[in-house]
């Protein structure tokens, strides 16, 4: 029999094999040793902590929880306003490029930059969230506007202009726009928590201290508060209440900062100028070249290489875990009660930021790529599994469809595979972005070198390295988009 | 007003209007008749595209914004007469001025009680009347309509068509109901397979000519 496979099926299979191969090859070069002799003991202590959370320092917990929310609210308010305006101009390539650039720099890197300018102030937290989020929201809003039906607009006397936009395009895009914005708000809370790890007074700050000192009872309390905030979002995040929340956030944590103009001027005109160019009347090209060559050899190349290696392995683990876990949230496999337990696990795993998971992993397993790989795989795997499980639940199977592992492999997996790849490719960029950041925990990705440069007050190096990380993200973004288009995969934004 | 000389037009990569010449003068009311696929819609779209900002346009598919009220969908016809700021404020809270205007208009297309309802809650016929309301509220001298009353019952349809004739100097309509076309328009253009078969004053069109148009 001569069976012809449809070409796009074939390409999907090929892509999967390439991704797997890349992951396995990367594994050969990765440092995934365990450096702790007995992770079991530490794990036991953590489990004991989870059983007996210590809420006694409730004042501290409450104020850091409010700070977390205040940063997220203010950051999102500014980001959605700026993102909306940028989305109106999204046709212009310059605006597109600008948005791609500001979102390619992770919020933690923005925070490290603003800390130099404004110290550990509320303004720093606000800007660190608002700037990259504005870039992301501009992109999604812009795409939502472009995808609206053209007929209502074309029936008007003038289809261009603000009036036509507000009467046709905006109402048509409104629902998905709100859905995506509220999803991003959840992300902003995670970002706000992680900002605590660089010193801003959010939940992450206290989590780092408690975990670092082995005070797992205190850490457990903070963790439960974190989960409670994110899981309860759907009940208290209401459109009508947003202005109230925003005003409250502004009163509670006014976005101000003590800073000196002289300091900022020095940072911009001196500190970030490459060292061999500083205070020189004429440019010494040889010195500049040596400086760049040195950075390339000692930091950029090793940083980029381990970022790529780590993210490739993490992507493979994400793929494996999401395929293994999605039945947990699928109507096709479990009764509603069991499913809610399974989805509960997925929701917890996706609520905990990768950065926090990696931090806990480092405590358990010691410094290597292993904790970072596990953290990225668990967090992103849970996100995809949750969405894929829900998607598979909508499939209608014939009455006599097989059950168990046969149902999984013959009925469900072939039907959800396309959606799976689309989500995986989208997460690829996210994983790459996060991988660079996890270096700040001591793993040799770009973040490690960036963090070290900030610690040594070598801001010229730090900025160049951040630029490299941004370029890497932009390339990954373009590559993944290209693949999605070639494979005709397009996850609608609200499902991200 | 409109002068077409030997033009050919494409719809979805296929030439559906071939070598057509057509002149429409100010003050005329013209009906395009012919079987579906004859090229009526494509020809109308082309006529509109010549000066889209000066033509009241009523498309075959209403093309409303489903989540906005019937009032706002009709108001959209007049967007370009007012400032963006005024329009924006009216979106949040309708102003009294346009509200009265549109109420009067809605009465003439029998939509008075539906103005506050979302467009996607309306029946097909009501949605089509909203689209007509929007075209009327565009307040132009020329009206182009592609089957504007196809989903409206016969009595209402005649009323609405005569309202359209009263409010506009020049009308070009595509109509599948030839009787209706003869009643409303002074000039009938018969189209078949993308070509003009006849172009005559209504009084001179014979039943045979019309029947021939629809024969395979």
A255 and A307 fall within a common domain: no
Q: Scan for tokens 């790849």, then name that residue.
A: A421
Give Cα separations from B17 to A108, B10, B22, B46 (angstroms).
60, 7, 12, 10
Q: Find the closest chain A residue to B84 by CA distance.
A: A163
Q: How far, in Å, CA of A483 to CA of B162, rounded?
A: 56
What is the extent of the structural domain holding A124?
Answer: 53-150+162-259
A284 and A346 fall within a common domain: yes
Structurally, chain B folds into a number of domains equal to: 1
How many Å lie between the alpha carbon of B77 and the closest alpha carbon of chain A? Answer: 6
Give Cα separations from A58 to A61, A64, A225 (angstroms).
5, 10, 10
Query: Which one-letter DSSP state was computed for residue B122?
Result: S
End-to-end Cα separation, chain A, in angstroms: 41
Please name the member of A156, A172, A175 whose beta carbon is closest to the beta carbon of B79. Answer: A156
Quickly list DSSP for A179-204.
HHHHHHHHHHHHHHHHHGGGT-SSHH
The reply to whether residue B84 touches residue A161, judged by beta carbons under 8 angstroms, is yes
pLDDT band at B170 (very low <50, low <70, confident <90, very high): very high
Structure tokens at A176: 């998905």
Please, what's the b/e burial string for A468-491 (b: 16 or more CB within 10 A of its CB; e: otherwise)? bbbebbbebbeebeebbeebebeb
- For B171, the enclosing helix (H) or strand (E) is strand B170-174
How many Å lie between the alpha carbon of A176 and the closest alpha carbon of chain B? Answer: 13
pLDDT digits (tens, 9 = 90+) for A83-107: 999 999 998 999 999 999 999 999 9
Q: Find the closest chain A residue to B66 by CA distance.
A: A172
A32 and A58 fall within a common domain: no
Q: How far, in Å, CA of B161 to CA of A235, rounded?
A: 52
Q: Does A5 touch chain B (CB under 8 A)?
A: no
Q: How far, in Å, CA of A157 to CA of A268, rounded?
A: 50
How many CB atoms are located within 10 Å of the residue A334 CB? 18
Residue A253 has pLDDT above 60, yes or no: yes
Q: In chain B, pLDDT over 70 holds for what percent of residues?
A: 100
The verdict on residue A284 lying in a domain is yes
Structure tokens at B13: 């990569």
pLDDT digits (tens, 9 = 90+) for A450-460: 999 999 999 99
Query: Which one-letter DSSP state was computed for residue B26?
Result: T
Q: Scan for tokens 């959370």, then name that residue.
A: A53
A137 and A225 fall within a common domain: yes
A297 and A346 fall within a common domain: yes
**Rg of chain B's alpha carbons, rounded to an integer?**
18
Structure tokens at A433: 């972005």
pLDDT digits (tens, 9 = 90+) for A45-83: 999 999 999 888 899 999 999 999 999 999 999 999 999
Mean pLDDT of A130-158: 93
The verdict on residue A46 lying in a domain is no
Return the pLDDT at A5.
46
Residue A312 has pLDDT above 80, yes or no: yes
Q: Which of A150, A156, A166 to mutate to test the interface with B (most CBs of B within 10 A)?
A: A156
A194 and A120 fall within a common domain: yes
How many CB atoms are located within 10 Å of the residue A47 CB? 11
Mean pLDDT of B67-96: 94
The pTM score is: 0.88
Q: Are strands B29-33 and B170-174 parallel, antiparallel or unpaired?
A: parallel
Burial of B95 (0-12, 13-18, 19+ CB in 10 A): middle
Q: Are strands B29-33 and B55-58 parallel, antiparallel or unpaired?
A: unpaired
Structure tokens at A189: 């809370």
Q: How far, in Å, CA of A445 to CA of A462, rounded?
A: 13
Please, what's the b/e burial string for A148-164 (b: 16 or more CB within 10 A of its CB; e: otherwise)? beeebbbbbbebeeebb
In sequence order, the 6+-apart residues with CB closer than 8 A to the CB of A22 are A312, A316
pLDDT band at A229 (very low <50, low <70, confident <90, very high): very high
Mean pLDDT of B175-202: 92
Q: Find the closest chain B residue to A166 by CA distance.
A: B88
Q: Are A480 and A440 in contact (CB under 8 A)?
A: no
Give ∠ CA A435-A370-A461 in degrees, rounded to 5.
Answer: 40
Q: How far, in Å, CA of B111 to CA of A301, rounded?
A: 70
Query: Which one-letter DSSP state was computed for residue A113?
Result: H
When the pLDDT of each residue in chain B is averaged and rounded to a whole number, the result is: 92
A289 and A250 fall within a common domain: no
Q: Is A490 or A404 the better-scoring residue by pLDDT?
A: A404
The verdict on residue A47 lying in a domain is no
The verdict on residue A33 lying in a domain is yes
A318 and A465 fall within a common domain: yes
Residue A1 has pLDDT above 50, yes or no: no
A30 and A77 fall within a common domain: no
Q: Write out residues 56-85 of B within 8 Å (CB-CB) of A.
A: 57, 59, 61, 63-68, 72, 75-77, 79-80, 82, 84
Give Cα separations from A429 to A104, A257, A350, A474 (angstroms).
9, 33, 17, 9
Residue A280 has pLDDT above 80, yes or no: no
The reply to whether residue B65 touches residue A157, judged by beta carbons under 8 angstroms, is no
Quickly list DSSP for A118-158.
H-S-HHHHHHHHHHHHHHHHHHHHHHHHHHS-SHHHHTSS-
Mean pLDDT of A124-136: 97
Q: Are B44 and B174 in contact (CB under 8 A)?
A: yes
Q: Which residues in chain A touch residue B51, judged by CB atoms under 8 angstroms apart?
A: none
- For A3, the enclosing helix (H) or strand (E) is none
**CATH number of the domain bearing residue A104:** 1.10.3720.10
The verdict on residue A196 lying in a domain is yes
Q: Are A406 and A347 in contact (CB under 8 A)?
A: no
The verdict on residue A331 lying in a domain is yes
Beta strands, E only, B25-169: 29-33, 55-58, 142-146
Q: How far, in Å, CA of A217 to CA of A50, rounded?
A: 6
The verdict on residue A45 lying in a domain is no
Q: Scan for tokens 């683990």, then name that residue.
A: A317
A363 and A311 fall within a common domain: yes
Q: Are A381 and A389 in contact (CB under 8 A)?
A: no
**CATH number of the domain bearing residue B51:** 3.40.50.300
pLDDT band at A4 (very low <50, low <70, confident <90, very high): very low
Q: Find the closest chain B residue to A150 by CA distance.
A: B63
Q: Are strands B14-24 and B29-33 parallel, antiparallel or unpaired?
A: unpaired
Structurally, chain A folds into a number of domains equal to: 2
Q: Does A164 touch chain B (CB under 8 A)?
A: yes
The reply to whether residue A163 touches residue B84, judged by beta carbons under 8 angstroms, is yes
pLDDT band at A349 (very low <50, low <70, confident <90, very high): very high
The verdict on residue A48 lying in a domain is no
- For A343, the enclosing helix (H) or strand (E) is helix A336-351
Return the pLDDT at A9.
65
What is the extent of the structural domain holding B162?
Answer: 2-61+68-214
How many Å lie between the alpha carbon of A283 and the closest alpha carbon of chain B? Answer: 53
Q: Are A428 and A316 in contact (CB under 8 A)?
A: no
Q: How far, in Å, CA of A469 to CA of A31, rounded?
A: 21
- For B189, the enclosing helix (H) or strand (E) is strand B187-192
Q: How far, in Å, CA of A467 to CA of A475, rounded?
A: 12
Query: Which one-letter DSSP state was computed for residue B193?
Result: T
């Amino acid at each position: 029999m001569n069976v012809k496979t449809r070409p796009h099926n074939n390409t999907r299979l090929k892509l999967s094999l390439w991704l797997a191969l890349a992951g396995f090859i990367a594994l050969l070069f990765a440092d995934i040793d365990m450096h702790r002799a007995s992770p079991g003991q530490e794990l036991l202590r953590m489990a004991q902590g989870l059983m007996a959370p210590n809420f006694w320092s409730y004042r501290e917990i409450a104020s850091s929880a409010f700070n977390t929310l205040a940063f997220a609210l203010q950051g999102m308010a500014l980001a959605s306003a700026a993102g909306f305006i940028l989305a109106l101009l999204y046709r212009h390539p310059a605006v597109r490029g600008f948005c791609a650039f500001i979102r390619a720099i992770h919020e933690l890197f923005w925070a490290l930059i603003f800390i130099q300018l404004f110290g550990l102030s509320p303004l720093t937290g606000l800007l660190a969230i608002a700037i990259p989020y504005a870039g992301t929201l501009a992109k999604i809003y812009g795409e939502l506007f472009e995808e609206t039906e053209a007929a209502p607009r074309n029936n008007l006397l003038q289809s261009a202009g603000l009036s036509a936009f507000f009467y046709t395009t905006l109402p048509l895009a409104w629902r998905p726009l709100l859905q995506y914005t509220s999803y991003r708000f959840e992300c902003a809370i995670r970002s706000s928590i992680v900002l605590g790890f660089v010193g801003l007074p959010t939940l992450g700050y206290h989590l780092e201290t408690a975990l670092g000192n082995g005070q797992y009872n205190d850490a457990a309390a903070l963790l439960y508060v974190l989960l409670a905030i994110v899981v309860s979002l759907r009940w208290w995040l209401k459109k009508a209440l947003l202005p109230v929340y925003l005003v409250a956030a502004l009163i509670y944590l006014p976005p101000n900062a003590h800073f000196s103009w002289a300091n900022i001027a020095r940072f911009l005109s001196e500190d970030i100028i490459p060292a061999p160019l500083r205070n020189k009347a004429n440019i010494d090209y040889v010195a500049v070249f040596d400086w760049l060559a040195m950075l390339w050899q000692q930091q950029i190349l090793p940083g980029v290489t381990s970022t790529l290696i780590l993210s490739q392995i993490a992507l493979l683990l994400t793929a494996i875990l999401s395929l293994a876990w999605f039945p947990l949230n699928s109507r096709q496999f479990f009764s509603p009660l069991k499913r809610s337990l399974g989805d509960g696990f997925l929701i917890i795993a996706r609520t905990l930021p990768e950065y926090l998971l990696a931090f806990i992993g480092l405590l358990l397993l010691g410094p290597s790529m292993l904790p970072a790989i596990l953290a990225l795989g668990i967090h992103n795997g849970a996100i995809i599994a949750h969405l894929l499980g829900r998607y598979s639940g909508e499939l209608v199977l014939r009455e006599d469809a097989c059950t168990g592992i046969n149902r999984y492999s013959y009925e469900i997996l072939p039907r959800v595979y396309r959606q799976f790849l689309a989500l995986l490719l989208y997460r690829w960029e996210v994983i790459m972005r996060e991988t660079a950041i996890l270096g700040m925990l001591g793993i040799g990705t770009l973040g490690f070198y960036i963090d070290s440069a900030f610690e040594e007050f070598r801001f010229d190096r730090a900025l160049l390295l951040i630029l490299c990380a941004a370029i890497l993200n932009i390339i990954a973004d373009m590559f993944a988009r290209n693949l999605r288009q070639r494979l005709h995969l397009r996850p609608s934004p609200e499902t991200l | 007003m409109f002068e077409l000389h030997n033009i050919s037009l494409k719809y979805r990569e296929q030439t559906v209007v071939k070598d057509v010449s057509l002149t429409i003068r100010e003050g005329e009311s013209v009906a395009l008749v012919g079987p579906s696929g004859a090229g009526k819609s494509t020809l109308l779209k082309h006529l509109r595209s010549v000066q889209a900002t000066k033509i009241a346009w009523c498309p075959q598919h209403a093309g409303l914004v489903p989540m906005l009220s019937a009032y706002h969908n009709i108001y959209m016809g007049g967007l370009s007469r007012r400032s963006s700021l005024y329009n924006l404020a009216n979106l949040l809270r309708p102003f009294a001025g346009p509200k009265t205007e549109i109420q009067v208009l809605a009465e003439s297309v029998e939509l008075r009680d539906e103005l506050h309802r979302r467009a996607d809650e309306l029946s097909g016929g009501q949605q089509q009347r909203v689209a007509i309301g929007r075209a009327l509220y565009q307040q132009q001298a020329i009206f182009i309509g592609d089957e504007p009353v196809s989903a409206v019952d016969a009595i209402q349809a005649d009323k609405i068509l005569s309202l359209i004739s009263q409010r506009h100097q020049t009308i070009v309509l595509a109509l599948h109901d030839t009787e209706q076309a003869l009643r409303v328009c002074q000039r009938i253009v018969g189209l078949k397979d993308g070509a003009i078969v006849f172009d005559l004053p209504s009084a001179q069109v014979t039943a045979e000519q019309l029947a021939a148009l629809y024969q395979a």
